[in-house]
Amino acid sequence: MEEIWKHFPNLTENQRNQLAQLQALYTEWNAKINVISRKDIDALYTRHVLHSLGIAKVMEFQPGASVMDVGTGGGFPGIPLAILFPETQFYLIDVIGKKIKVVQEVATALGLTNVKAAQMRAENVQEEFDFIVSRAVTNMPDFVKWVRGKVKKHSKHPLDNGILYLKGGDLTEELAVFQRTVLYDLADYFEDEFFETKKVVYLPLKYKT
């Protein structure tokens, strides 16, 4: 928890309370539905919460913006981001219904009115969003196919609308076909060795007419 406060010192008391509840909520739900690996549940705040908030070091979502989290699992990165940006609307989707149930229950317990969750494939989503976020659910070429055509035309942020993707390792080959990607090393923001090879991959997507 101290790491979260250090890197995000301007949190409100309500945001701090919401973040503080995550350990108990996920420990309880993980005992019923395995959404986080057993070894990771004890490192929840570093490996899941802080990792998710790495996106916030790259992009500060504006009030009224909309963000879709594809393959959210138990709610990462969507839930921590929704806590950090209460005036941004988040749509969390996953193909596994049990995981979406956990997301819905956690969001309700935290009082997050800016989170909507559904069992859904990205290809079947009809809405458009300012940004699409995810945490290494597949390779980037396939991910782009899933979400192409789902970004809004006009950007209200410093970066053009597109994808903000959490991934680690050497991405040279995977991203070779995408000339406009920008990589942000999370080790530049967070000291824990977990982040040594972790990145936020930003890829602007053209609006499809």
Q: Which two tokens stand for residue 153?
A: 């035309």
Which amino acid, one-letter code, is at 153? K
Q: Which two tokens stand for residue 5?
A: 């406060």
Kind of pairing between the strands at 182-185 and 162-168: unpaired
- Average pLDDT rounded to a whole number, residues 10-23: 97
Task: Give every CB contact of residue 42 below 8 A, 6+ residues apart in sequence.
Answer: none
Q: How far, in Å, CA of 92 to CA of 134, rounded?
A: 10
Is the per-residue pLDDT at 208 higher than 80? no
Whole-angstrom CA distances from 38 to 35, 44, 138, 202 are 9, 10, 22, 30
pLDDT of residue 187: 97
pLDDT confidence bin for 40, thresholds 50/70/90? confident
Which amino acid, one-letter code, is at 114? N
Which pLDDT tens digit goes with each residue over 117-176?
A: 999 999 999 999 999 999 989 999 999 999 999 999 999 999 999 999 999 999 999 999
Kind of pairing between the strands at 89-94 and 115-119: parallel
- Average pLDDT rounded to a whole number, residues 26-37: 90
Is the per-residue pLDDT at 107 higher than 60? yes
Task: Look at residue 26 and give its three-state secondary structure.
Answer: helix
Task: Look at residue 22 and give its three-state secondary structure.
Answer: helix
Q: How far, in Å, CA of 42 to CA of 135, rounded?
A: 19
Q: Which pTM value belongs to this model?
A: 0.97
Q: Are 166 and 77 in contact (CB under 8 A)?
A: yes
Which pLDDT tens digit goes with each residue over 66-94?
A: 999 999 999 999 999 999 999 999 999 99
